[in-house]
Amino acid sequence: MENIKLPVHIAVIMDGNGRWAKEHNLPRNEGHRKGTKVLENIIKHANKIGIKYLTVYAFSTENWSRPQNEVNGLMKLFMKYLDRNIKKAMRDDIKFNAIGDIDSPNIPSDLKEKIKVLQEITKDKKGLCFNMAFNYGGRDEIIRACKKMMTEISLDKTGNSEITEALLSSCLDTANQPDPDLMIRTSGEMRTSNFMPWQLTYSEFYFASCLWPEFTVKEFDKAIEEYSTRKRRFGKSE
């Protein structure tokens, strides 16, 4: 990884857990369990190589429409993930941050509580900022940001009520964070499925054909190497 231009912020759509389980004659939730292990390796690796922000799509606002048994299994996995990380937070330098509609009544209250605890005890960490997109929908995020923005404007005593990109950005769940430079999606699907529509405007996309439970650190590095060769123009000529 020498002479490589590292992305500051990487976003990942972890897709293909269900298909992986099916291929192995396992229940879908086993695919999600294996997927969590892969995620933990990637977080560790991203921190080690100096990535500053990693945002992963863990559960979308649309994923509630899956069978109850699968949704319950996913909630249990998140709970276990949070418990493990609350325990080892002292030893880590990773900052945990949830993005998405975390205050929704659909989210079990003990899960909400653990999210708040992990955020609070890691808030001053100086290593990787790990954003978990949970009950996240890009359109929902923009709507919530608009509501927040309207309140801020009406409270603004300076009389400055101009709506700007910077103001809307500052009302998103990713406020104060740079937009992703690179977006990786596994499983061969080539769509964004309501993931970060505002923030991915100028990101480079990398589609891996492997399923998420098969994704490796090597494949992650390959995506970074490919990113490093891309010429980003941001609308300029040349």
Q: Which does 138 bind (CB under 5 to 8 A by kind): Mg ion, ligand IPE, none?
A: none
Q: Is residue 196 at the binding interface for ligand IPE, with CB under 6 A as the rule?
A: no
Query: Of 11 and 58, which CB lies nearer to ligand IPE in the complex structure?
Result: 58
- 203 in helix, strand or coil? coil
Among 9, 33, 42, 57, binds ligand IPE (CB under 6 A): 57
Among 19, 76, 125, 144, binds ligand IPE (CB under 6 A): 19
Closest approach, Cβ 138 to Mg ion, in A, equals 16
Q: How far is residue 41's CA from residue 84's CA, in Å, rounded to a whole number?
A: 14
Footprint (CB under 5 A) of Mg ion, residues 12-71:
15
The structure tokens listed for 88 are: 């080892």
Exposure string of 99-120, with b = 16+ CB inside 10 Å and e = fewer, is: bbbbeeeebeeebeebbebbee
Footprint (CB under 6 A) of ligand IPE, residues 91-150:
none
Residues 43-49: contacts with CB under 8 Å, at least 24 apart: 43/94, 43/128, 43/130, 45/217, 45/220, 46/10, 46/128, 46/220, 47/93, 47/94, 47/127, 47/128, 49/1, 49/6, 49/221
Angle, helices 68-88 vs 109-122, to 10°: value is: 30
Q: Is residue 29 at the binding interface for ligand IPE, with CB under 6 A as the rule?
A: no
Is 63 among the catalytic positions? yes
Query: Of 74 and 82, which CB lies nearer to ligand IPE in the complex structure?
Result: 74
Closest approach, Cβ 16 to Mg ion, in A, equals 6
The CA radius of gyration of the chain, in Å to the nearest whole number, is 18
Q: Which does 57 bind (CB under 5 to 8 A by kind): ligand IPE, Mg ion, none?
A: ligand IPE
Is 69 among the catalytic positions? no
Tell me the DSSP string of 92-123: --PEEEEES-TT-TTS-HHHHHHHHHHHHHHT
Q: Is residue 7 at the binding interface for ligand IPE, with CB under 6 A as the rule?
A: no
Among 7, 9, 17, 204, binds ligand IPE (CB under 6 A): 17
Closest approach, Cβ 181 to Mg ion, in A, equals 24
Footprint (CB under 6 A) of ligand IPE, residues 153-192:
187, 189, 191
The β-bridge relationship of strands 9-13 and 182-185 is parallel
Q: Is residue 140 at the binding interface for Mg ion, with CB under 5 A as the rule?
A: no
Q: Which of 17, 29, 41, 63 is catalytic?
A: 63
8 Å CB contact between 105 and 163: no
Which residue ranges make up the site for ligand IPE (CB under 6 A)?
13-19, 57-60, 63, 74, 187, 189, 191, 193
Active site (catalytic) residues: 15, 63
